[in-house]
Amino acid sequence: MSGFRTLFYKELLRFYKVGFQTVLAPVITALLYLMIFGHALTNHVEVYPGVAYTSFLVPGLVMMSVLQNAFANSSSSLIQSKITGNLVFALLTPLSHWEMYFAYVLASVVRGIAVGLGVFIVTVWFIPMNFAAPFYILGFAILGSAILGTLGLIAGVWADKFDQLAAFQNFLIMPLTFLSGVFYSTHTLPPIWREVSRLNPFFYMIDGFRYGFFGLSDINPLVSLGIVSGFFIVLAGIALRLLASGYKLRH
């Protein structure tokens, strides 16, 4: 496992060395979202009985930050290594595809959790929060960041240049994140759009994570946990297959 530990340590150092950009900047962005939306809507919207809109918004912003930064970590690392040519040094080592997968994804989980924790620490000073089901909070945070880390790995393998990676993020990751219930509950949507939202796997990550704080959710959290776990297994299988075959890496 020494190869895994070395690659994992390298991936951790990669975002730690530029922590102002990789951790602090997303925290500030989430705080701006909270200030703008909270100020504009806190007196006009009550999603759950007895839950202020700003309190409702915080878990969504935390999870959104976790997901986006987990994806950014693995995808940017892999595409930079491909373009600069230093990926060959990892491919020449006796690293298995399992070791490469877990090194990239676990580093993405660490960055995602670090950013999410930073967002929560900054916002919790202004807004009282409950912890109705802490294990759901931790479980969905880890699963969500692992899923987006895996998705970032797939995107990094597929993309040949930064433009392709940006298209992947702008036309898939961003829309799915913003339309997952970060800023609203699906119960406020018309029936047809409510059903369409259920096709978005990011919705189950946000909804299950929010349940951990309030004990309230749009659907059964166990259903969300099952769907998110299944989604992770499918994506992990695809990513491992790509790494094992060397698709766009060895040729």
pLDDT greater at residue 145 or residue 39: 145
Region for 166 from its dihedrals, namely left if φ exceeds 0, alpha if ψ lies in -120 to 50, beta otherwise: alpha
DSSP structure class, residue 198: T
Q: How confident is the model at residue 42 (pLDDT cuts 50, 70, 90)?
A: low
pLDDT at residue 43 in the model? 64
pTM of the model: 0.92
- Rounded Cα–Cα distance for residues 33 and 39 (Å): 10
Burial class (CB in 10 A: 0-12, 13-18, 19+), 227: middle
Residue type, 77: S
Domain ranges of the chain: 2-245
Average pLDDT along the chain: 89
Token output for 28: 């500030």
Residue type, 56: F
pLDDT greater at residue 19 or residue 209: 209
Residues 6+ apart with CB under 8 A from 160: 82, 248
To 10 degrees, what angle do helices 134-158 and 221-245 make? 30
- Rounded Cα–Cα distance for residues 67 and 172 (Å): 13
DSSP reduced 3-state for 247: coil
| Buried/exposed 17-44: b ≥16 CB within 10 Å, e otherwise | eeeeebbeebbebbbebbeebbeebbee
125-167 pLDDT, tens digit per residue, is 777 778 889 999 999 999 999 999 999 999 999 998 899 999 9
| Whether pLDDT at 1 is above 90 | no
67-113 pLDDT, tens digit per residue, is 999 999 999 999 999 888 888 888 888 889 999 999 999 999 999 99
The percent of residues above 90 in pLDDT, for the chain, comes to: 51
Mean pLDDT over 29-44 rounds to: 76
Region for 127 from its dihedrals, namely left if φ exceeds 0, alpha if ψ lies in -120 to 50, beta otherwise: beta
Residues 6+ apart with CB under 8 A from 183: 37, 57, 60
pLDDT at residue 130 in the model? 81
